[in-house]
Amino acid sequence: MNHSVGRIHLTQNLPGIGGRLKERPEDFFVEESPLYPCAGDGDFSFLLVETTNLSTLDLVALLRQHLELEDHEVGLAGWKDKRAVTRQWVSVPRTQVSERRLHELAANGVRILEERRHPHKLRTGHLLGNRFSILIREPNPHAMALAGAIVKELQAAGLPNLYGSQRFGTTGDNPEEGLAVLRGKKRLRSVRTEKLLISAATSLLFNLTLKMRLERGLFARLLRGDIAKKHETGGLFHVLDPAKEQERADWLEISPTGPIWGKKMMEARDEAAILEREILRCQGLAPDIFRKQPGSRRALRIPLREISLREEPDGLRLDFFLPKGSYATVLLDEIMKA
């Protein structure tokens, strides 16, 4: 696959504040917001775990080791940055939890902040979103004003809902590895890792679609045949009359979506379908390669409603909320451009 997505900024007309990220893990704090409360009883223990400088895959490995679990028995709502302080919920079979085992986890850097019970396993996507508190060190001397102008523009137009670079692996090879899995040329022992690699391939195709629409001035403009998403309810619908629906898009009530290719994906029509198929052809792909994947649609942008900036002795701190599946690094790249 062609990995050359390059730098994509909606606010390219505004200078960034520069600075440095993640000098220390505590500079980047993220906490999950659950989608629903736990029932209080059931066969699964939901654990709110805090980790520092630990990848999600490493967390899963520790849970498997100390709770004596198979990979599929560990439930996660989402993936988190490694160089950070993270708080996230995981689910494990209730029978495998004991005070001794939790103590062993704590000795290996996994703090258990809460334990609750629920009848069902936690599954990917079962979260409302994430709250972030991030320090940008040594930014431009006028960082507060510059960042404020960028945030104002993003709040008016929406934040591009790109997948962050961490989705594609340290060397950016995850999409190619994912295609090798789909073509039967590569098999891994871990189903979780296989899904991660395949997801990287479909995520790159989404990013390429969003990039093309930005370059053609179609980021917030509806096309005939687009599938639009209602931000309030999450509902999807085909756009039959773009001129009629555009005012709702201008008010950020709805947004066009891009494809996450798979068998259950709602397919665009007319102009929008031509654009999305063009991306596949440029990559030498056809929809059939994703026939066994679930598929979905992803909004091209998200409303940026909860965000605050404040100056600190060491730099500029951003506190904000993003819905599930959206990346803090995309917002930070818009603001820093460094």
Which residues participate in catalysis according to the annotation?
A: 81
Q: E strands along the chain, which residues?
A: 28-34, 44-52, 75-76, 85-93, 111-118, 127-137, 159-160, 227-230, 236-238, 254-260, 296-299, 301-302, 307-312, 315-323
Which sign, positive or negative, has the C-alpha torsion 126, 128, 133, 134?
positive
DSSP H or E run through 65 = helix 56-67
User: Which amino acid appears at position 13 of this protein?
Assistant: N
Distance CA 54, CA 28 (A): 13
Distances in Å between the Cα of 191 and the Cα atoms of 25, 109, 139, 275, 296 are: 29, 25, 42, 32, 20
Beta carbons of 93 and 38 less than 8 angstroms apart:
no
Tokens representing residue 331 in the block: 């917002």
